[in-house]
Amino acid sequence: MEIMNKILLIGCGHMGSALLDAWLGLKLYSFDVVDPFNFKILNKKYLKNNVRIFNETPTQIEIKKYDIIIFAIKPQVANKVIAQYKNFEFKKNSVIASIIAGKKILFFKNNIKNAIQLVRVMPNMPALINQGISCLIGNKNFTKSNQKKINELFLKVGETIWFSEERQIDMATAISGSGPGYIFTLIDAFEKASQKIGFSKKISRVLVLSTFLGSAKLMQQTNKEPHYLANSIAVKGGTTEAGIKVLKKNNINKIMHNTFLSAFKKASKLGKEND
């Protein structure tokens, strides 16, 4: 007999709703949401999908129905929200998942008395179009069958990669989790520079976006190293070489290293706050 999996999503903002939207068609899953501040909008949006929206923490009786409970709230409210789940008893074999940046498995263990199976996930924004990458790690009690379910869920929004050390989740937070933000900042810089050279906003958008997309796909399809591809365009004395020289003179590698380090430190710091 096929068993229905009941999921409770706590927090349904940018990432929570991206996940929920991708999961709604799944056959063996049903979804409820807790989001007190966006209760009305969410109710309207998901009514037709039979998703129940709670505007307050569910009761003990409700909580015991869920197979998977997912925290998708901001780190800044995590302590306050998770305290509301501190003394609940959960369904046997259920799993508590979190996509909250920085918050460690130990944080959930320490703050939710009866939490047994825990999994931390770091998705990223392209999950919105099912092109994301989610990094995951479970605690020692996390069962293979729950791992299969969680993997299946996050495969709906892109690729999944399982880690063996929790520190890698904070590292990935700084790279793939925050990465789309850096890429958009880079695209913005490309577009602004293109306009400074003399192109319109519209033409700049086409040129820049096509260049980013085409280059990423070329690298994916050829499976060649990025420096090899860069060198193959940058012929001696040519235009690309002239441009790359400026990037190197301004130490592009160091800029990226510092960018990742700064985000990694922040992820580690978020994890240490009140844990």
Ligand X SMILES: NC(=O)c1ccc[n+]([C@@H]2O[C@H](COP(=O)([O-])OP(=O)(O)OC[C@H]3O[C@@H](n4cnc5c(N)ncnc54)[C@H](OP(=O)(O)O)[C@@H]3O)[C@@H](O)[C@H]2O)c1
CB of 74 to ligand X, least distance (A): 5
In this complex, which beta carbon is closest to ligand X, that of residue 81 or of residue 230?
A: 81
CB of 143 to ligand X, least distance (A): 24
Q: Of 189, 138, 183, whose CA–CA distance to 160 is shortest?
A: 138
When CB distances to ligand X are compared, the closest residue is 13
Contact status: 122 vs ligand X (CB under 6 A) = yes
Alpha carbon of 165 to those of 104, 134, 142: distances in Å? 11, 15, 14
List the interface residues with ligand X, window 215-244 (CB under 6 A): none
Residue whose token pair is 């096509």: 210
Residue whose token pair is 């860069």: 230
In this complex, which beta carbon is closest to ligand X, that of residue 22 or of residue 99?
A: 99
Q: Where are the alpha helices (DSSP H) in 112-251?
A: 144-155, 167-172, 179-197, 201-222, 226-233, 239-249
Give the span between the Cα atoms of 211 and 215, in whole angstroms. Answer: 6
Contact status: 75 vs ligand X (CB under 6 A) = yes
Q: Of 264, 104, 75, 258, whose CA–CA distance to 173 is shortest?
A: 264
Binding characters for ligand X, 21-40, by CB under 6 A (x = yes): -------------xxxxx--
By CB under 6 A, the count of residues binding ligand X is 26
| Region binding ligand X by CB under 6 A among candidate stretches 14-22, 189-197, 229-237, 252-260 | 14-22
Give the span between the Cα atoms of 178 and 260, in whole angstroms. Answer: 9
CB of 47 to ligand X, least distance (A): 17
Measured in whole angstroms, the distance separating CA 28 from the mean position of its chain's CA atoms is 23
Applying CB under 6 A, among 68, 100, 157, 175 the residue interacting with ligand X is 100
> What is the token pair recorded at 138?
């479970």
Contact status: 184 vs ligand X (CB under 6 A) = no
Question: Angle of helix 239-249 relative to helix 226-233, nearest 10 degrees?
Answer: 130
CB of 106 to ligand X, least distance (A): 17
Give the span between the Cα atoms of 268 and 274, in whole angstroms. Answer: 12
Contact status: 86 vs ligand X (CB under 6 A) = no
CB of 44 to ligand X, least distance (A): 14
| Region binding ligand X by CB under 6 A among candidate stretches 74-82, 160-168, 219-227, 242-250 | 74-82
Q: Which amino acid is at 211?
A: T
Binding characters for ligand X, 133-172, by CB under 6 A (x = yes): ----------------------------------------
Other beta carbons within 10 angstroms of residue 86's beta carbon come to 12
Measured in whole angstroms, the distance separating CA 96 from the mean position of its chain's CA atoms is 16
Contact status: 15 vs ligand X (CB under 6 A) = yes
Give the span between the Cα atoms of 214 and 48, in whole angstroms. Answer: 38
CB of 231 to ligand X, least distance (A): 33
CB of 267 to ligand X, least distance (A): 9
Contact set with ligand X (CB under 6 A) = 10-16, 34-38, 72-75, 77, 81, 99-101, 122-125, 177
